A = this chain, B = another copy of it.
Amino acid sequence: LSKATDLGLNNSIFADCTADRIVASSYSEFALNGFSVVTCNKIALSAPLESWSRMREAFASSGRRILYETTVGAALPVIGTIRQMVQAGDKIEKIEAILSGTLNYLLSTYNGSESLSSLIKKAKKLGYTEPDPRLDLSGTDVARKALILSREIGINREPQDVNISPLVPKAILDQSADLFYDRVEQWEEKFAKLYKDACSKGEKLRYVATVSAGECKAGIESLPANHPLAGTEGTNNTIIITSSDYPSPIVISGAGAGARQTATGVFNDILIAGL
């Protein structure tokens, strides 16, 4: 930053494509030095309210922009759509969404013939999970996204206000990496029962985030087959936005992850920030 400032690079755009905490903590400084920030890093946007507010204030006072479309649903037009609705005076009443390609891959692929632990290993091999899959299974990533969406609709929650039910029990996630798959296997039977119960009702298991004035939560839900979220297959994401002004919700669906999509989204944000 000091080098960029020395070079007189104000009125520039800083793009953060890391998932780094230290980089995330520097956004305010960039803003105050004349930079707009484009980021796919969720950390600063889902930070505790105090540091989040300080960061937003730095951008407001400096007149710089911070754009982060790719933090939720990669390049799907989620944050931008919500921001435009809010700017136009609409009131977002509820967001229901599938926000994890990883968890949706597991839940939409599982059919009882292959064990969950085997599917987790496969998802890891395919590059769908974090290097440590426990980070996906814990729901932490979805919690951050739900928090970003909550703040976007004007409800400024703290991270601990997001009510997360992990995909596998917390006790198993707390195991060391070696013991982890072993414990998932021991727990399989309970998951298989959950799946069978859903099937017997003609329903589908999905990992759903819900954000409204009254709640901010995420966890497995059993959904009727005709529910707009139930049709989300593979690593796709789906976001349902219910608002005061729209007679029926807006539904946005498609690839919600992937390097190419995220790069596209970051590039779009850079183009917008440069306008």
Partner-B contacts on A (CB < 8 A): 75-77, 80-81, 84-85, 87-90, 226, 228, 231, 234-236, 241, 245-255, 258, 260-261, 264, 267-268, 271, 275
5 interchain residue pairs of minimum CB distance: A250-B254, A251-B253, A88-B264, A84-B268, A77-B77
Q: State which of B81, B235, B247, B261 has its C-beta within 8 Å of the C-beta of A77.
A: B81
The contact of A87 among B234, B249, B252, B268, by CB within 8 Å, is B268
- Tell me the complex Cα distance, A246–B261, Å: 7
Q: What are 26 sample pairs from A and B whose C-beta atoms fall under 8 A apart?
A: A75-B85, A75-B88, A77-B80, A77-B81, A77-B84, A80-B80, A84-B264, A84-B268, A85-B264, A87-B271, A88-B267, A88-B268, A88-B271, A90-B264, A231-B231, A236-B248, A241-B254, A246-B261, A247-B258, A248-B255, A250-B252, A250-B254, A251-B252, A251-B253, A252-B253, A275-B275
